[in-house]
Amino acid sequence: MSRNAEVAALLEEYADLLEARDVEYKPNTYRRAADSIREHPTAIEALASEGQDAVEEIDGVGDAISSKVLEYIATGEIEELEEERARLPVAMGELTSVEGVGPKTVGTLYEELGVEDLADLEKAASGGEIREIKGFGPKTEENILSGLEFARKASERERLGDTRPLADDLLDYLRDHEIVEAAEVAGSIRRWRETSGDVDVLAASDDLEDVVETLTDWERVERVMEAGGNKASVVVDGIRVDLRVVVPEEFGSALQYFTGSKAHNIRFRNRALDRDLKVNEYGVFDISGVDDTSGQRAGERVDGETEEGMYDVLDLAWIPPELREDTGEIDAAAADELPDLIGEGDLRGDLHTHTDWSDGTESIADWITAAEEFGHEYLCISDHATGPGMVGGVGLSDEELLEQAEEIRAAAEDARIEVFAGVEANVDEEGGLSVSEDVLDELDLVVASPHSALDMAPEAATDRLVGTIEHPATDVLGHPTGRMLGRRPGLDPDLEAVAEAAAEHGVALEVNANPSRLDLWGRAVKVGVEAGATIAIDTDAHSVAEFDNVRYGVYTARRGWAEPADVLNAWGPAEVAEFIGR
C-alpha cells in the first residue's frame, strides 16, 4: 500500500496550521500539492527513492514541498510541521470537522480560550465563552454547539442498512426531475461495503446549479452544509449526503472515478498509463506524443460518456462495483474471467428464520405464506434454542423444539413450498451445541451460531468454530463471528482454517443478511469460495418484512466473488435436502 494519503494528510495539516496564523498563499499551495500526491498513481515512496526531480514531476509540487516529502520519507518527520504543531498544539483535524470551524477559527479559539480539542470546544461553547470573543457572538456559538453533535456522529461509520435506503430514495427523487439525465450512488455504498462515512450521489445534467438547488429543496433535507456550483452537502436523517453534478458526457468517467475503491482506481490508472492513456473523472485521454500530461484534460479525449466505455477502452470487461477492491478483478477482467456473480433472483429459499415461538413476530403459518408470496421454493424455520447468549427465556428447550417440529411439519402438509424444521443452536466456548443429540437427530437442519464469549483469542476462536463445523449435526455455521456492526467486533478466527474445515465437512458458511451483522463479509466470503466451501445467504429474519434484507446478503456474497453454484440456497429443494442429509 502506498504512503500517498499519509503524506497528503501531513501537507494538509501543515496548510491548516499556516492558515490558522493568517499566512497568505502558502496554505492553498500545500493543499493543491496534497491533492495531487493523494491521487498520483505512483507510490510517493517510490518516487522519493528516485530523487527530488521525480517527486517534483507531480503537479503542484515544487522545491519546498518536495524537500519536505523527502524529509518525511527519510526520517518520519517534517521539521517545519513539528514547529507549527508546537506553536499551535491543537487537534486540528478534530476541530475543523465541526461545521463552521476553520483553521483561522481554531487559531483564535486557542489564543483566546486555550481550546485544543473537541472537549475544550464543547466546554467553551456550553459555558457561553465563545460568544464573548470579538467577531463571534451567540449565533456562532449556537452553530458550533450544533456542529459538535454532528461532527461526533460523522466520525462514526453508518451501516449499509441505513445509508442504502436513503440513497435509493434520493435517486428516485432526483430521477423524477427532467433536468436530471442520470443519477447513481457512488463510493462505498455502490460497492456495497457494510459501512460508509456518508452517502455519495452523482448526477448528470446540463443544468448543474439547478440540480444542486433541487437537492437542497428536498423536503427530507434537515440542514444544508454547503451548496453551490456543481456540489452540495446536506444532512438527511442525521446522515451526511454529498452530491456532485457533472455534464452528461462526463457521467461515465465520473461514476467510475467516484465509485472507487482507491486501490482499484490506482491499478486502473496504471493500466491506462501502460497504454499511453490517462484516466480521471473527466474521461480517458490519449496522451501519446503529449509533452505535458499534468493537466486533467491533457491529450485527446477518447471516452468517458459511459462507465462501460471506460473499461472497454482499456481492453477490460466492465467490472461490477462490488468487486472493485483490487483483489484480482483487473486481471480477471483482462482475461475475461470475471465470475458470474450470484444475483437476488438466484436465491430460492431462506434457511434461517424466527417465529413467535422464540423472538420472532409471526406464526409458523404466517411465515410459510410469506415465503410463498416472496417467491421462495423452500423455507427453514430455525428458532433459537436455549443456551449461551440467550437471555429472557428466548430460547426453546429440547422438549419445545420437538413440539415445534411437529407443528412445522403439520403446517407443511398444506404448503406449496418445501418447509424444513430446524433450529438455531448456540455454540458454547468449546464449539459444542446447546441442543441434545437426540433432538438434533429429529430436526431437518441445524444452524449453529455463536452468541456469547466473543472476545476469545484468535487461536481459541478458530478451534471453537472448527469444532462446531466438525459436529456431525451442523449444517450451517450461522453468523460465524457473532459481530454486530458498531456494537461489538465478534470473534477473530483464522478464516482460511474455518473455510477449509467447512469445505471438508460439508458445512455451509452463512452470510447473515441482517444489516447489523453482514457476517460473513466480502473478504471472508472470498476466502470461503476459494477454499471450496459452500455459502448460505440467510436473512435471520424475525419478521416477514425482513425478507427484503436478502439483498444485503446477496451483494455481500458478490463482494466475495460468489457464484450461484457456490450458494446453498441458490440450489433447488432436492439439492438442499441432499446437502443437509434429509
Distances (CA, A) of 468 to 184, 251, 495: 43, 49, 14
What kind of fold does domain 4-154 have according to CATH? Answer: DNA polymerase; domain 1 (1.10.150)
**pLDDT tens per residue, range 125-134:** 999 999 999 9
Average pLDDT in the 431-460 region? 95
Each residue's pLDDT tens digit, 35-54: 889 878 788 988 999 999 99
3-state secondary structure of 301: strand
Task: Give the DSSP letter of residue 417.
Answer: S
SS3 assignment, position 464:
helix
262 or 203, which is more confident? 203
Provide the 10 A C-beta neighbour count for residue 94.
18
Separation of alpha carbons 74 and 78, rounded Å? 10
- Looking up cell 468454530, which residue turns up? 465
Percent of all residues in the chain with a pLDDT value above 90, rounded to a whole number: 78
pLDDT of residue 332: 98
Cα distances from 90 to residues 22, 28, 120, 140, 558, in angstroms, run: 16, 20, 10, 20, 43
pLDDT at 565 > cutoff 80:
yes
Structure confidence at residue 390 (pLDDT): 65
Residue 143: predicted pLDDT:
84
Helix crossing, 4-20 with 63-75: angle to 10°?
A: 120
What is the DSSP secondary-structure string of 164-228?
Answer: HHHHHHHHHHHHTSTT-SEEEE-HHHHTT-SEESSEEEEEE-S-HHHHHHHHHT-TTEEEEEEEE
Q: What is the pLDDT of residue 4?
A: 83
pTM: 0.77
pLDDT tops 50 at residue 1: no
560: pLDDT strictly greater than 90: yes
- Residue indicated by cell numbers 504543531: 85
Please tell me the predicted confidence (pLDDT) of residue 153.
Answer: 62
The stretch 525-544 carries a mean pLDDT of: 97
Q: What pLDDT, in 10s, does the model give residues 322-379?
A: 999 999 999 999 999 999 999 999 999 999 999 999 989 899 999 999 999 999 999 9
Query: Any idea which of 146-150, 325-329, 441-445, 466-470 has the lowest mean pLDDT?
Result: 146-150
C-alpha cell at 420: 424444513
Distance, in Å, from the CA atom of 17 to the CA atom of 27, rounded to the nearest integer, reads: 8
Q: What percent of the chain has a predicted confidence (pLDDT) above 70?
A: 98
What would the mean pLDDT of 271-281 be, rounded to a whole number? 94
Report residue 464: phi and psi, to 5°. Answer: -60, -50
For the chain, which residues make up each domain, given as ranges? 4-154, 158-246, 260-334, 344-579
Answer for the pair 285, 250: CB distance below 8 angstroms, yes or no.
no
pLDDT in tens, 177-223: 999 999 999 999 999 999 998 999 999 999 999 999 999 999 999 88
Correct CATH for 158-246 of 3.40.1790.10, 3.30.460.10, 1.10.10.410, 1.10.540.10: 3.30.460.10
Q: How far apart are CA 535 and CA 351, in angstroms?
A: 12
| Nearest Cα residue to 540 out of 350, 343, 349 | 350
Query: Comparing 1 with 299, which gets the higher pLDDT?
Result: 299
User: Distance of CA 333 to CAs 190, 214, 321, 338, Å?
Assistant: 19, 38, 13, 6
pLDDT confidence of residue 139: 87
Q: Looking at the predicted structure, is the pLDDT value of residue 58 above 80? A: yes
159 vs 570, residue with greater confidence: 570
d(CA 216, CA 224): 7
pLDDT band of residue 93 (cuts 50, 70, 90) is confident
Give the CA radius of gyration of the chain: 27
Fold for domain 260-334? Beta Polymerase; domain 3 (3.30.210)
Q: Which architecture, in CATH terms, is 344-579? A: Alpha-Beta Barrel (3.20)
Query: What's the pLDDT tens digit per position in 383-437?
Result: 999 987 665 567 899 999 999 999 999 999 999 999 999 999 999 999 999 999 9
**What is the tens place of the pLDDT at every residue in 469-503?**
999 999 999 999 999 887 788 999 999 999 999 99
CA 36 to chain centre: 25
- What average pLDDT does the structure give for the chain? 93
What local confidence, expressed as pLDDT, does residue 2 receive? 61
